[in-house]
């Protein structure tokens, strides 16, 4: 019977780092350190899911941020400026990513479910390889080691929202049918990546970048507060047209069961 063969998980906001705070806070610090430029945490979250150089370039192209940049420097942000911010960002991110490597609640149980189901576990990220090496080592200490890790700078073809990192997982994991693979992410570019690769896609609303909740806030939130955060996240994710929307990775095993049902009925992504 047709069944799910593999899952490709994002990292921050999906399996580790509830609320995706490691990259966002470091973007704020990098803009400040490189150019004494004030960037809000909410602004830093905007293009999440892209490769980090592209993320900075996209921030610089934002009309509001560009207006403040022009007022401060008398010119638009150049690619050289992006390089300077990226070069400031990288050592900060490598140093601090381990502080945000705790597993999101439900990750360990979901991974165990996938292992028991003989489903291969891949991953990819907007983080470049030097950051991923540090993060993977710390995540392994915390009990999470996927079968495959693809970083944003691994492939010459590029990163999200193109399909290449997701498809590299398919190659390395030896998955025979892309339609039997699921991409799980908390960002629109990550969902678009999965759709472009021909996979089922699952968007996470409450553990990731778009809700911006800390784990502590999530654990004490009322149902009304969760509903508001869920709706806010969905308004930013629904344009990517995910096949499924769930709160966190803890809800994922039920999605696998439903996709298996749909595959058995002859459906495809």
Q: Active-site positions? A: 10, 52
Rounded Cα distance, 47 and 56, in Å: 8
Say how far residue 224 (Cα) sits from the centre of its chain.
25
Whose structure tokens read 């809700």?
A: 211
- Find the radius of gyration of the CA atoms of the chain: 18
Phi-psi region of 246 (alpha: psi -120 to 50; beta: other; left: phi over 0): beta
Separation of CA 215 from chain center: 17
For residue 60, is it left (φ>0), alpha (ψ between -120 and 50) or beta? alpha
Burial of 66 (0-12, 13-18, 19+ CB in 10 A): middle
Residue 229 CA to residue 226 CA, distance in Å, equals 5
């Amino acid at each position: 019977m047709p069944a799910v063969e593999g899952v490709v998980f994002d990292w921050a906001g999906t399996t580790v780092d509830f609320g995706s705070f490691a990259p966002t806070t470091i973007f704020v610090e990098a803009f400040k350190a490189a150019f004494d430029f004030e960037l809000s945490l909410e602004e830093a979250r905007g293009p999440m899911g892209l490769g980090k150089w592209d993320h900075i370039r996209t921030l610089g192209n934002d009309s509001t941020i560009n207006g403040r940049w022009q007022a401060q420097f008398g010119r638009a942000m150049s690619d050289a400026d992006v390089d300077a911010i990226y070069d400031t960002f990288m050592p900060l991110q490598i140093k601090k990513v381990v502080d945000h490597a705790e597993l999101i609640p439900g990750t360990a149980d979901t991974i165990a479910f996938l292992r028991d189901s003989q489903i291969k576990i891949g991953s990819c990220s907007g983080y470049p390889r030097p950051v991923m090496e540090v993060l993977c080592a710390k995540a392994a200490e915390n009990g999470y080691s996927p079968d495959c890790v693809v970083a944003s700078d691994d492939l010459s073809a590029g990163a999200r929202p193109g399909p290449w990192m997701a498809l590299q997982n398919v190659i390395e994991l030896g998955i025979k049918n892309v339609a039997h693979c699921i991409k799980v992410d908390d960002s629109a570019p990550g969902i678009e990546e999965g759709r472009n690769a021909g996979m089922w896609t699952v968007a996470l609303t409450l553990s990731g970048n778009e809700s911006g909740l800390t784990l502590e806030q999530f654990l004490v939130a009322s149902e009304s507060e969760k509903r508001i955060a869920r709706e806010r996240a969905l308004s930013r994710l629904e344009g990517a047209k995910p096949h499924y929307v769930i709160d966190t990775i803890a809800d994922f095993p039920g999605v696998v069961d439903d996709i298996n049902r749909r595959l058995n009925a002859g459906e495809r992504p």
